[in-house]
Chains A and B, each alone.
Chain A
Amino acid sequence: SQQGEEDPQALSIQEGENATMNCSYKTSINNLQWYRQNSGRGLVHLILIRSNEREKHSGRLRVTLDTSKKSSSLLITASRAADTASYFCATDSPRNSGGSNYKLTFGKGTLLTVNP
């Protein structure tokens, strides 16, 4: 089942510009996470934002979460050619009894290309 849906599917920008990717989801969450995947490699965890948080920063990354709209955005500032990768959001949804299911549901990703 697909919980998160990223938008846009692909994004091409020039080095130095900012890149914004969006993620929408359908059910309630414990937290939402963003991952990066370089071509043919495994995913790398970037940032986790909990359901009671609205914004989080890590270096050039800024993540926002709007639980009322069931959406999140990932902003990469001052992009570099090395940021070229696919970016995925993943949601951790609660069990009926509370707590985590301990499994993430991933979206299809946004392919970001940063041109030198």
Chain B
Amino acid sequence: DGGITQSPKYLFRKEGQNVTLSCEQNLNHDAMYWYRQDPGQGLRLIYYSQIVNDFQKGDIAEGYSVSREKKESFPLTVTSAQKNPTAFYLCASSIARGRIHYGYTFGSGTRLTVV
């Protein structure tokens, strides 16, 4: 079955530690995205990538980094510079070609907690 997989489901980070969240898709989608969701809030865009080896900052990129070495994979690193990383992180992918942008397919999310 085609889909998008995020791992781990739950992640605990100590102060000053970098952690990496995994996102893998087998949908052959061009574009991939990382969003952050805080309780009772909407989704805020962290980073997005339209093609391999290229990515752009979203609205809240500070303290985060990404890579897009393969079409299928878009890992997100939460660095120690991110002062308030506790949140629910959602990865998504979509077809993005020409003038058309289709709907997103989301992963099931990673809940990150600072301990």
Complex formed: what's the CA distance from A73 to B31 in Å? 27
Instruction: Assess the A102–B42 pair: CB atoms within 8 A.
Output: no
Instruction: Assess the A107–B101 pair: CB atoms within 8 A.
Output: no
Q: Mark B83-102, 1 if CB is under 8 A from A, else 0.
A: 00000101010101011111
Instruction: Assess the A98–B99 pair: CB atoms within 8 A.
Output: yes
Instruction: Assess the A42–B103 pair: CB atoms within 8 A.
Output: no
Instruction: Assess the A41–B108 pair: CB atoms within 8 A.
Output: yes
Q: Mark A2-38, 1 if CB is under 8 A from B, else 0.
A: 1000000000000000000000000000110101000
A-B pairs with beta carbons under 8 A, tally: 64
Of B43-51, B63-71, B73-81, the stretch lying at the interface with chain A is B43-51
Complex formed: what's the CA distance from A104 to B92 in Å? 11
Instruction: Assess the A106–B43 pair: CB atoms within 8 A.
Output: yes
| Min C-beta distance of B39 to chain A, whole Å | 11
Q: Which range contains the number of A residues in contact with the other chain?
A: 20 to 34
Instruction: Assess the B100–A100 pair: CB atoms within 8 A.
Output: yes
The residues of A with any CB-CB pair to B shorter than 8 Å are: 1-2, 30-31, 33, 35, 40-45, 48, 88, 90, 92, 98-109
12 new A-B contacts, CB < 8 A, other than A88-B43, A100-B101, are A1-B59, A40-B109, A41-B108, A43-B92, A43-B106, A44-B106, A100-B96, A100-B99, A102-B50, A102-B101, A105-B45, A106-B43
Provide a sorted-by-A list of 28 A–B residue pairs whose CB atoms are within 8 angstroms: A30-B101, A41-B108, A41-B109, A42-B6, A42-B90, A42-B107, A42-B109, A43-B90, A43-B104, A44-B106, A45-B103, A45-B105, A45-B106, A48-B102, A88-B42, A88-B43, A90-B104, A92-B101, A99-B98, A100-B100, A100-B101, A101-B101, A102-B94, A103-B33, A104-B104, A105-B45, A108-B40, A109-B42
